[in-house]
Amino acid sequence: MKLILTQEVSGLGIAGDVVTVKDGYARNFLMPRSLATPWTKGGEKQVVQIKRARKVREIRDLDHAQEVKAQLEGLTITLPAKAGDAGRLFGSVTSADVAAAVKAAGGPVLDKRKIEITKAIKSVGKHSAVVQIHAGVVASVKFEVVSA
């Protein structure tokens, strides 16, 4: 089945790519999750729009990625979360929470799917996460979780 990817799918392609996959994979995984739409002749216009939007969002080049990395590593990020008396959180900190905290601290807008938290964050204190900015450019984001 021929599809147009609407989001990045690891091992398959990025948004705007036209790919051919097996019917079951398309019907049962990609299309229900809105990761792809069926390819049509009219869909070529959609491909152009997706690629144009991707160019606006993506990091321009390696030098720009290095600038973003330096900016991220220089930020002081405080992430408020509900916690008990012992400092244990009610729930855990997610990559979406980290992306929102980076944006609130004056940093760049990050895609939550590019943020990797290696160990579940369930307590207040200083923690870190890894952000894949560009191919070969990885930034370590340090933040402090405080009781709200």
Q: How far apart are CA 13 and CA 74, in angstroms?
A: 32
**Torsion sign, CA atoms 109, 114, 120, 125:** negative
Stretch (H or E) spanning 145: strand 137-147
Residues of the chain with CATH 3.10.430.100: 62-147
Run of H or E residues at 17: none
CATH 3.40.5.10 range(s) for the chain read 2-57
16-37 confidence digits (pLDDT tens): 888 999 999 999 999 999 999 8
Across 19-23, 40-44, 115-119, least confident range:
40-44
91 and 133 Cβ atoms separated by less than 8 Å: no
> What global pTM score does this model have?
0.65
Burial, 126: exposed, middle or buried (Cβ in 10 Å; 0-12, 13-18, 19+)? exposed
Q: Indicate the CATH number for domain 2-57.
A: 3.40.5.10
Does the structure show a pLDDT above 90 at 7? no
Q: What is the pLDDT of residue 62?
A: 76
CB 79 within 8 A of CB 107: no
Q: Are 47 and 18 in contact (CB under 8 A)?
A: yes
- What average pLDDT score do residues 89-97 get? 93
Going by their DSSP bridges, the two strands 2-5 and 88-93 should be labelled as unpaired
Domain 62-147 sits in CATH 3.10.430.100: yes
- Asked if residue 56 has pLDDT above 70, the reply is no
Can you spell out the DSSP letters for 37-67? Answer: EE--STHHHHHHHHHHHHHHHS--SHHHHHH
